[in-house]
Chain A
Amino acid sequence: MMNGTWKVDARDGKLAMAHIYVAFVALALGGLAGLLQVLVRSGKFELPAGISYYTILTTHGVLLGLVLTTFFIIGFQFSAISRTAGTLSDRIRFWGWVGFWLMTIGTAITAFYILIGEASVLYTFYAPLQAHAGFYIGLTLVVVGSWISGFATFAHYAKWKKAHPGQVSPLLTFMSVVNMILWLICSLGVAATVLFQFIPWSLGYVDRINVLVSRTLFWYFGHPLVYFWLLPAYMIWYAIIPKIIGGKMFSDSLARMSFILFLIFSIPVGFHHQLVEPGIDPAWKYLQVVLTFMVVIPSLMTAFSMFATFEMYGRSKGATGLFGWLRKLPWGDARFFAPFIGMLFFIPAGAGGLVNASYQLNQVVHNTTWVTGHFHLTLATTVVLTFFGAAYWLIPHLTGRVMTKAMNRLAIIQTIVWSIGMIFMSGAMHFAGLLGAPRRSAFSTYGDAPQALEWIPYQIAQAVGGTILFIGIILVLIIVTNLAFFAPKGETEFPVAEVAEQAERTPLVFENWKLWIGIAVVLILIAYTVPFIDMIQNAPPGSKGFKLW
């Protein structure tokens, strides 16, 4: 490794681990909420003590969709920049801790209002559902905290660039910077709607809210949010997995190029979540659908690059035939196995995504459990299994321990359990969705309508899958607790891949931030300015708040 140090500094490790602890506590609580949901949805169980299904559903979405992901990602990125661009300065680490505490306090406030039943508005908090102001204020703190961590990341990158003029930055640092730029640009949308619309409205300063504007600002944030989750998984695939299998990275330039394409194309696409929404001209929806399909390109580039990395490694070990290289991969190593299974699940996940984003096809699946099934493949399998696989080396690296063979075996079993559970749960959600089963609703037979009765076997399969997944959560929590507190002391490597000899030299143009951020901003302005003016000028009367739970 040419750049940086071999081991993450203990002080940086502590900062990263603090984030990772919160992430796994969120997994435990959010996972329990998920189990309760699928049991209610099967029609065979009811929640005790008058607890609302929608309270549990909000808990699940916020803790797993927002807290688990954001905390794990920022913790992982801090460790990655410390490992590849050198130890953080005291000042940068201080701001990292400020970010961490703001996010944690924000999460606690938000969770409090959800759990006392004052904010059962789901993680998308669509208006006109109105939560207690504390819910929105807590979320604001989470976002502000993440911004501070983002700026700490940029400061560390700038320091490295100053010390290494004219050099290409370490890949993992570059990727962390791209992800935080993406996050900063997109979270401006959610910050705007929360600060200017939801908080004044929920505090009673204004009576009514412009629903369409709030939803548009949410989805301006909501879709790139998906890529904010996904890019760290791609970092692990591109820059770490090749080292774990003992091979080389196919191309550094290709990896950087795909990240830049995500930065450019993943933001001006929010309308594909609003395809059935009135008040937006179809021409603008069409434009954003086209831009959405542009995001397919970097994902396909990633798929090609991963296949090529695996094949090159297998052939270097003497593999022959069309797929002989598959046999050479280290199937018994959970650090590889869990992310690899995540990659496989990304194939149906991506296919489902193309359906969601297509104008006509979206009408078949809109607001059905198909969509829930889709993001349980993307986030809850592809991303999460990759994060689990990373935790298996990252946690022992940061805590000065080693993973035992028994824990490795348990991690392999965990991956298999997760896969089986998800095939049942997500598969059932997809099929029930095609039959019209609505998402975001508690169990209902809709007056025993024949169509609704068709969904029940799938909802039972969902409950079976969800229960198996909960066992998977218990297993991963056992492994993580072991790695953090009980595994034998020792040195664990933070793997960082080297580039294959045949790869071309990486050009510096990928770090021309003015250019890439400029293009991203221009595309955002093109995709959003006119429809946004339209939404404000031709707005219907705003809506009062509703508490329907």
Chain B
Amino acid sequence: MKTQLNTNTPKTKVEKEPVLKGTLASVLFLGFFLIFTWVSVYFLFLNRL
């Protein structure tokens, strides 16, 4: 019996990661805004000591 070559090698399913660079930029902006607000009021606190 001839050995049959399996030509249909199973392809590994490539999980495509979604592109989320806009999300990254958005959360970085959000983080910056939180820190900016906090530091602003902190300096107000220091000025009034």
* Chain A residues within 8 Å of B, Cβ to Cβ: 300, 303-304, 307-308, 311-312, 314-315, 322-326, 347-348, 350-352, 354-355, 358, 360-361, 363-365, 434, 500, 502
Contacts and interface: CB of A to CB of B under 8 A. Distances in A.
Contacts of A347: 30, 33
A311 B22 contact: yes
Contacts of A352: 37
B18 A502 contact: yes
A307 B45 contact: no
A337 B15 CA distance: 32
B25 A322 contact: yes
A315 B30 CA distance: 21
B5 interface: no
A361 B41 contact: yes
B22 A361 contact: no
Interface of B: 15-23, 25-27, 30, 33-34, 37-38, 41-42, 44-45, 48
B25 to A, nearest CB: 6
Given A308-B23, A351-B33, A363 B45 contact: yes
**For B19, B22, B27, B34, which residue has the most chain A Cβ atoms within 10 angstroms?**
B22
A348 B29 CA distance: 12
B33 to A, nearest CB: 6
A340 to B, nearest CB: 13
A361 B38 CA distance: 8
Contacts of A308: 18, 20, 23
Contact of A311 (B15, B23, B45): B23
Contact of B19 (A315, A348, A358, A363): A315
Nearest to B44: A364
Nearest to B47: A364
B19 to A, nearest CB: 6
A76 to B, nearest CB: 27
B38 A355 contact: yes
A307 B27 contact: yes
Prevailing SS type, chain B contact patch: helix
Contacts of B37: 348, 351-352, 354-355
Contacts of A361: 38, 41-42, 45
A320 to B, nearest CB: 10
A365 B48 CA distance: 12
Contacts of B30: 300, 303, 347
B18 A315 contact: yes
A339 B20 CA distance: 22
Contacts of B23: 304, 307-308, 311
A466 B27 CA distance: 31
Given A307-B22, A308-B18, A351-B37, A360 B27 contact: no
A118 to B, nearest CB: 39
Contact of A303 (B16, B27, B38): B27
Nearest to A351: B37
A348 B17 CA distance: 31
A364 B44 CA distance: 8
Nearest to B22: A311
B42 to A, nearest CB: 6
Closest 5 CB pairs of A and B: A351-B37, A307-B23, A307-B26, A311-B22, A308-B23
A311 to B, nearest CB: 5
Contacts of B38: 351, 354-355, 358, 361
**For A324, A325, A355, A500, which residue has the most chain B Cβ atoms within 10 angstroms?**
A355
A350 B30 CA distance: 10
Given A303-B27, A307-B27, A365 B41 contact: yes
Given A300-B27, A308-B23, A312-B20, A360 B34 contact: no
17 contacts: A303-B26, A303-B27, A307-B27, A308-B18, A308-B20, A308-B23, A322-B21, A324-B22, A350-B34, A351-B34, A351-B37, A352-B37, A355-B37, A358-B38, A363-B45, A434-B44, A502-B15
**For A323, A351, A434, which residue has the most chain B Cβ atoms within 10 angstroms?**
A351
Contact of A360 (B18, B25, B26, B45): B45
Given A352-B37, A354-B34, 17 more contacts: A303-B27, A304-B27, A307-B23, A307-B26, A311-B23, A326-B22, A348-B37, A350-B34, A354-B37, A358-B38, A358-B42, A363-B45, A364-B44, A364-B45, A500-B18, A502-B15, A502-B16
Contacts of B34: 350-351, 354
A237 B17 CA distance: 23
Contacts of A314: 22
A302 to B, nearest CB: 11
B44 to A, nearest CB: 6
